[in-house]
Every structure is written in C-alpha cells, then in structure tokens.
C-alpha cells in the first residue's frame, strides 16, 4: 500500500531469512527478524512490525498518560525512533522489550513534563475524545451504563494515582502479559525490584478499589 509518501509498506516478505540463532546468544524472535530486515533496507518489514505492535503499544501509552491524543503522538514518536535507529539495531533482547523501553521512556518524560496540564485534560477528555466512554456496551441500560462508567472512572483514577514506574509495571504485567524478567529489562531494574513494584502497586490498587467490591456486595 502506498500511503501517499512513495513508500510501499505492505508487501509480504517471504520467510526465507536465515535466522542466526547465535547472534547475541539468543534465538531471534519473529519481530527481531523483521527488524533486521528493516535494517537491511526492507521497508515492507517495518509495515509488518507496525501492524503487529501499534495496537498494544498505543493501548499501553493510552493507559499510561490517560490522554488519547498524547498517547497517539507518543506512539508515533516510538515508531519514528525505531525507524530512525534501524541502521544501528542489534537484537540483544526481544524486540518488544526495546519497543516498550522507548515507549516507557517517552511516557515517563511526558508525565513528568506535562503532569499538571494533563491532569486537567484527562478529566475533560472523557467527554471530548471518548477515552472514558469507549467501552459503552450497547446492550446495557442507561443506569447500568452510568454505573459502569463510574466504575471505569474509579479504575482509571486508581491507576493514575500510582507512581509512574509502578503504573508502567502494572500495565505491562496486566495488559501486555509480560514476564517479570522482561518488565525488569524495560524498566532497567532487577526482577526482584519489579516484584516489589508490583506488590506495592497491587496493594495500593486493592486498597483504592476495595469500596467497589463492597458496593457490589451490597
């Protein structure tokens, strides 16, 4: 597909690449193979990587910064950086580790730089860009829908209340199903530090959302 840029991205590459399993001492995952092809000038492989990872990456960023426009901008920046640094790419870790490392770095910077403005935006945007209403189940009654939205808002606020690093760890663990070791590589810390982050984060969340469970029981 030509996106009006003169670059053709959706040609399906043939899978006849010789995978050098000794490279960096790890077997290359499919993404790393694609990225190596991008490094060698195959731009169609970049299109495949984009197709595979744009969704999860965007959702992660969206939950991190809780602002759809900012999350899209950050996701664009992540893929731009991936493409720009293609020539120096070495598959020393899983591709997704690298991708989420860039994303987390950008998200943490964004949260640090625009915390105050975003706090207001995130409250306003619920009605403007639909972040808070995206889950509307058409089968729900108005009352159920309102209850559901209130519950969702509480979940978002509870996540928002976590320190940024704990938030990133929880999101990667819960929604991207990453293992502790991979989260540790993304966050540049030890596995036991990740366990500690998650332990504290889930404890805070259980405490923050405990009343939801009580209300449901009532």
Partner 1 sequence: MECPSKSAESSELLIAYVEGSLDRIAERAFERHLDTCQRCREMAASQRELWAALDSWAPVQISPDFDQRLYRRLAEDRIPQPWWQRLLSADWTWRPAMPLAAACIALIAGFMLREPGPGPVQTVVIQPHGPQIEQVESALQDLEMLNQMGLPSSQGNTAREKM
- Interacting residues toward partner 1 by CB under 8 A: 3-7, 9, 50, 54-55, 58-59, 62-63, 68, 72, 75-76, 79-80, 83-84, 129-131, 134-135, 148, 151-152, 154-156, 159, 174-175, 180, 192, 195-196, 198-200, 202, 205-206, 209-210, 212-213, 216
Closest CA to 95 of 57, 64, 123: 57
Rounded-to-integer distance, Cα 218 and Cα 213, Å: 9
| 3-state SS, residue 8 | strand
Identify which of residues 28 and 46 has a Cβ nearer to partner 1 in the complex. 46
Beta carbon nearer to partner 1, 119 or 210: 210
Query: How far apart are the C-alpha atoms of 179 and 168, rounded to whole Å?
Result: 13
Give whichever of 23 and 54 is closer to partner 1, judged by the CB atom: 54
How many CB atoms are closer than 10 A to CB 171? 24
Residue 195 neighbours by CB under 8 Å, 6+ apart:
180
Rounded to the nearest whole angstrom, what is the least distance from the CB of residue 192 to partner 1 in the complex?
Answer: 7
Strand, helix or coil at 5?
A: coil
Closer by beta carbon to partner 1, 97 or else 131: 131
Q: How far is the CB of 205 from partner 1 (least distance, A)?
A: 5
Asked if 169 and 62 count as a contact pair (C-beta separation under 8 A), the reply is no
Question: At closest approach, how far in Å is the CB of 120 from partner 1?
Answer: 19
Give whichever of 20 and 51 is closer to partner 1, judged by the CB atom: 51
Closer to partner 1 by CB, 19 or 204: give it. Answer: 204
Smallest separation (angstroms) from partner 1 to the CB of 157: 11
Please state the three-class secondary structure of 50-114 as a single string: HHHHHHHHHHHHHHHHCCHHHHHHHHHHHHHHHHHCHHHCCCCCCHHHHHHHHHHHHHHHHHHHC
Smallest distance, partner 1 to C-beta of residue 107, A? 14
Q: How far is the CB of 36 from partner 1 (least distance, A)?
A: 19
């Amino acid at each position: 597909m030509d996106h009006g840029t003169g670059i053709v991205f959706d040609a399906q590459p043939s899978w006849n690449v010789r995978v050098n399993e000794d490279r960096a001492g790890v077997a290359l995952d499919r993404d790393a193979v694609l990225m190596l092809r991008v490094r060698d000038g195959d731009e169609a492989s970049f299109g495949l990587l984009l197709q595979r990872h744009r969704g999860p990456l965007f959702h992660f960023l969206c939950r991190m910064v809780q602002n759809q426009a900012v999350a899209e901008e950050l996701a664009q920046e992540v893929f731009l950086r991936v493409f720009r640094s293609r020539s120096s790419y070495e598959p020393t870790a899983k591709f997704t580790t690298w991708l989420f490392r860039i994303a987390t770095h950008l998200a943490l910077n964004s949260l640090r730089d625009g915390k105050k403005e975003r706090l207001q935006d995130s409250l306003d945007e619920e009605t403007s860009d639909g972040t808070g209403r995206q889950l509307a189940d058409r089968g729900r009654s108005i009352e159920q829908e309102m209850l559901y939205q209130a519950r969702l808002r509480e979940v978002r606020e509870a996540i928002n209340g976590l320190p940024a690093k704990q938030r990133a760890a929880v999101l990667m663990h819960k929604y991207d199903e990453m293992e502790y070791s991979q989260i540790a590589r993304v966050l540049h810390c030890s596995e036991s530090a990740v366990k500690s982050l998650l332990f504290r984060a889930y404890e805070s969340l259980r405490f923050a959302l405990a009343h939801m469970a009580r209300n449901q029981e009532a």
